């Protein structure tokens, strides 16, 4: 039976230190079984409670999964320009393809839709553990602003170097909502709950959500997401560890054939990861797909090894520092992979 390694437990203990209100949920999938453990500053808690967390940019993998579904159904093509689906864009201008947006190679600046000052304040808040990152939701965009930004930030018809773009994923969501005819919010909620069967996963926060806390242990509540906030496709989903592990299982088994499109390499990404659609693929092993996330006072990580059929999830109601969620998640995933290798070796003998 798999047990969390001492190395992972040390990382968990270090992460929990000094966080008075922390609910750190650690989950893993192995042998087709999901295990969830919850920790606070004083150690392990009863894991029977289902805590709902803001999962931030893990939302992008859901948006990209819906994109894959529409491609599979021939409702659109990855090589389509967004100009084809967003009205009132200038016909004589270049706009990026869905593929370039989904692989963060469109060329849009990482700070969009924020201006330089807003972005600076956001980063400052992230570093200090408070400030603007904690207040309601500083990342908002409505239709007129989106079109203004598209016209203002002109691009060339080329594949740009990898640059992480919330704005790019927001554009994909807007296209998906236009193709469905019902908008992104309604379309995504139906996709997640009816198509994928994840009943505890939804856009926005509800009364079921944990409150987030900053590094000074101040309650900063939850980010508010309105249906007309076109940034929703980049980070608005809330979920539980159990649902995310079920989501991992669905991706491992590719129960929905279109999910394979998201797992394929479509771009070179950065030094460590190649790009699928939304998903980050480990360069040294493309069978490993991951994504992390964060909102004002929440952190998240989901890692999947499709070949070994194992997965790890880390969720916290604090904005963790120095990628602590990813460190825990990757270390846990590596120990799951090692355990699987040992099982396979023992069966050979």
Q: Is the pLDDT of residue 162 over 60?
A: yes
What's the mean pLDDT when you consider all of the chain?
93
Regarding predicted confidence, which is higher, 114 or 266? 266
> What is the percentage of the chain residues whose pLDDT exceeds 90?
84
The arithmetic mean of pLDDT across residues 40-45, rounded, is 92
d(CA 208, CA 149): 35
Cβ atoms of 49 and 210 within 8 Å: the answer is: no
Cβ-Cβ contacts under 8 Å for 307 (sequence gap 6 or more): 285, 287
Mean pLDDT, residues 30-51 taken together: 92
**The token pair that represents 113 in the structure block:** 């839709």
- The CATH code of domain 6-348 reads 3.40.710.10
What does the alpha-carbon distance between residue 85 and residue 74 come to, in Å, rounded to a whole number?
A: 14
- For position 347, what pLDDT does the model report? 65
Residue with the larger pLDDT of the pair 134 and 98:
98
pLDDT at 132 > cutoff 60: no
- Judge contact between 168 and 95, C-beta under 8 A: no
pLDDT computed for residue 130 by the predictor: 54
**Which strand (E) or helix (H) includes residue 39?**
strand 33-40
Please, which pLDDT band fits residue 344 given cuts at 50, 70 and 90?
A: confident
Task: Please report the DSSP string for 69-96 in residue order.
Answer: HHHHTTS--TT-BGGGTSTT--TTS---
- Mean pLDDT value of segment 254-260: 94
What is the structure's pLDDT at 72? 98
Q: Which pLDDT tens digit goes with each residue over 133-144? A: 566 788 899 999
Alpha carbon distance 126, 134 (integer Å): 9
> Angle 162-266-334 (CA atoms, 0-180°, nearest 5)?
85
The band of 202, judged by pLDDT with boundaries at 50, 70 and 90, is: very high
| pTM of the predicted structure, to 2 decimals | 0.95
Give the pLDDT of residue 128: 61
Q: Choose the weakest-confidence range: 17-26, 97-106, 314-323.
A: 314-323
Query: pLDDT tens, 183-199?
Result: 999 999 999 999 999 99
- Rounded distance, CA 316 to CA 212, Å? 8
Range 280-296 average pLDDT? 96
pLDDT of 330 higher than 70: yes
Return the DSSP state at 199: T
Three-state DSSP at 321 gives coil
């Amino acid at each position: 039976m798999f047990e969390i390694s001492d190395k992972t437990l040390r990382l968990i203990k270090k992460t929990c230190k000094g966080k008075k209100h922390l609910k750190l949920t650690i989950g893993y999938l192995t042998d087709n079984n999901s295990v969830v453990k919850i920790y606070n500053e004083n150690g392990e808690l009863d894991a029977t409670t289902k805590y709902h967390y803001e999962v931030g940019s893990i939302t992008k993998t859901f948006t990209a999964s819906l994109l894959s579904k529409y491609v599979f159904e021939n409702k659109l093509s990855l090589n389509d320009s967004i100009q084809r689906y967003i009205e009132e864009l200038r016909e004589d201008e270049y706009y990026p393809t869905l593929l370039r947006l989904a692989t963060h190679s469109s060329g849009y600046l990482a700070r969009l839709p924020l201006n330089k000052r807003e972005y600076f304040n956001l980063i400052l808040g992230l570093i200090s553990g408070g400030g603007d990152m904690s207040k309601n939701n500083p990342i908002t965009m409505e239709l007129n602003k989106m079109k203004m930004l598209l016209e203002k930030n002109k691009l060339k018809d080329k594949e740009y170097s990898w640059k992480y773009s919330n704005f790019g994923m927001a554009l994909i969501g807007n296209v998906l909502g236009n193709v469905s005819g019902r908008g992104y919010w309604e379309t995504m909620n139906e996709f997640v709950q009816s198509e994928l069967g994840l009943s505890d996963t939804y856009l926005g926060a509800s009364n079921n959500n944990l409150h987030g806390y900053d590094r000074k242990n101040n309650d900063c509540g939850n980010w508010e997401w309105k249906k007309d906030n076109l940034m929703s496709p980049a980070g608005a989903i809330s979920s539980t560890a159990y649902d995310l592990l079920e989501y991992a299982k669905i991706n491992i088994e590719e129960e929905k054939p279109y999910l394979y499109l998201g797992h394929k390499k479509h771009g070179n990404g950065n030094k460590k990861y190649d790009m699928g659609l939304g998903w980050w693929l480990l360069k040294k092993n493309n069978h490993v797909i991951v994504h992390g996330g964060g909102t004002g006072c929440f952190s998240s990580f989901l890692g999947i090894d499709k070949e070994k059929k194992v997965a790890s999830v880390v969720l916290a109601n604090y904005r963790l520092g120095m990628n602590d969620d990813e460190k825990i998640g990757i270390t846990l995933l590596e120990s799951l992979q090692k355990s699987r290798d040992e099982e396979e070796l023992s069966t050979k003998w």
